Amino acid sequence: MKDDYTVGVEQEFLLVDPRSRRPVALAPRVGELSRAPGDLDVQGELTPFQIEVATGVCHTSAELDAQVRAARRVLVEAADEAGCRLVATGMPPIGKAGPPPGSDDPRYHRIEHSHRRLVIGQGACGLHVHVGVPSKAAALEASNKLRAWLPTLLALSANSPYQDGEETGYASWRSMVWSRWPVSGPPPRWDGPEHYDRTVEALIATEALIDRAMVYWDVRPSADHPTVEVRVADIPLLATEVVVLAELVRALVASEPPEQRVDDSVLRAAYWRASRDGIDGLAADPSTGKLLPAFDRAVALVEHVAPALRERGTLSTVERQIDWLRHNGCGAARQRRCQDPESLVDMLIARTREET
């Protein structure tokens, strides 16, 4: 694997009240109190119930692991000081995370005016993985490589089976909520930068996008960094899961593309199946539409990128984590083992804290 395939991640978290366990609008205060070292960057999100932290540019898996855990520790401590708790879950298990009355964010009001009820009930928390690439053309080539494997990455990360105290029947309800946006989910297959720019400008002209920051496809060239950004995953409960997903994405960018091209409609169907079943049920092969155990697709993914993982020295780590998931289930399966919504939130708080 080339040395220039650096990696970094953005982790989005929910802030909850420790008594009611409901989302609490304290992100500005948590941001003020966070004492992030130079490599980490704490940012606000779409709603004030969410907080995001980005690592710096990492070259090794060990460096990424250290920064992911440090990032969680910074936010756990700041949330405690602000009187709330940090939670790694894709959607609020209890209550909705809409904007508070009187929100004065001008960009939020533009989105609210243009997209209306799509904004209500947000609070979706994901994991964004950035892999260093030399150009926009290289980022779009990486996007084409990733398309067939995006449902598997989603299934591995699925960690949002509840919303507003109710079981949704989906392992990743976050991905279903996010799919309502007009530019979301799997990206098209790109012919090059001109194709991408022409498509985005047309979408802005329709006002489906208010700006380029609203390109919510699950893979996109980063607007601010020389990276390809992969946004398909729920925020995982465990830091180890974050690192393994990032290493799988980095290996996919460094690997050869799949032999078969993927039909857009079948890919969307495979997304839906991954959202519903996670890694613990069945998956649809995006190349054929045939159903098979989701873990078989996960094993096939690891086999596909094994040379790149081996060169990076991370193959055994990834294989161990996949085996651990086989026995323990994805985040959604672990959430469902809790007896009630309150004990679920308490478990999420505790595990998020432990992973620092």
Q: Mind giving me the DSSP string for 292-326?
A: EEHHHHHHHHHHHHHHHHHHHT-HHHHHHHHHHHH
Q: Is residue 156 one of the residues assigned to a domain?
A: yes
CATH number, domain at 316? 3.30.590.20
**Rounded CA separation 223/164 (Å):** 34
Given a contact cutoff of 8 angstroms between Cβ atoms, the answer to whether 182 and 208 are in contact is yes
Q: Is residue 1 one of the residues assigned to a domain?
A: no
Mean residue pLDDT across the chain: 92
pLDDT tens digits, 256-293: 888 778 999 999 999 999 999 999 999 999 999 999 99
Residue 129 has pLDDT above 70, yes or no: yes
Q: Is residue 344 one of the residues assigned to a domain?
A: no
Q: Is residue 310 one of the residues assigned to a domain?
A: yes
**Rounded CA separation 117/297 (Å):** 36
pLDDT tens digits, 191-244: 999 999 999 999 999 988 888 888 999 999 988 889 999 999 999 999 999 999
Count of the separate structural domains present in the chain: 1
Q: Is residue 346 one of the residues assigned to a domain?
A: no
Q: Is residue 347 one of the residues assigned to a domain?
A: no
Write down the pLDDT at residue 1: 45
What lies within 8 Å, CB to CB, of 246 at 6+ separation is: 7, 9, 64, 129
What lies within 8 Å, CB to CB, of 6 at 6+ separation is: 57, 58, 59, 131, 132
**Rounded CA separation 155/171 (Å):** 8
Q: Is residue 179 one of the residues assigned to a domain?
A: yes
Could you list the residue range(s) of the whole structural domain that residue 36 is in? 7-339
Q: Is residue 349 one of the residues assigned to a domain?
A: no
| Helices and strands in the chain: count of H runs, count of E runs | 13, 13
Report the C-alpha dihedral over residues 300, 302, 304, 310, rounded to 10 degrees.
Answer: -160
Q: How far is CA 84 from the centre of its chain?
A: 23
pLDDT tens digits, 175-204: 999 998 889 999 999 999 999 999 999 999
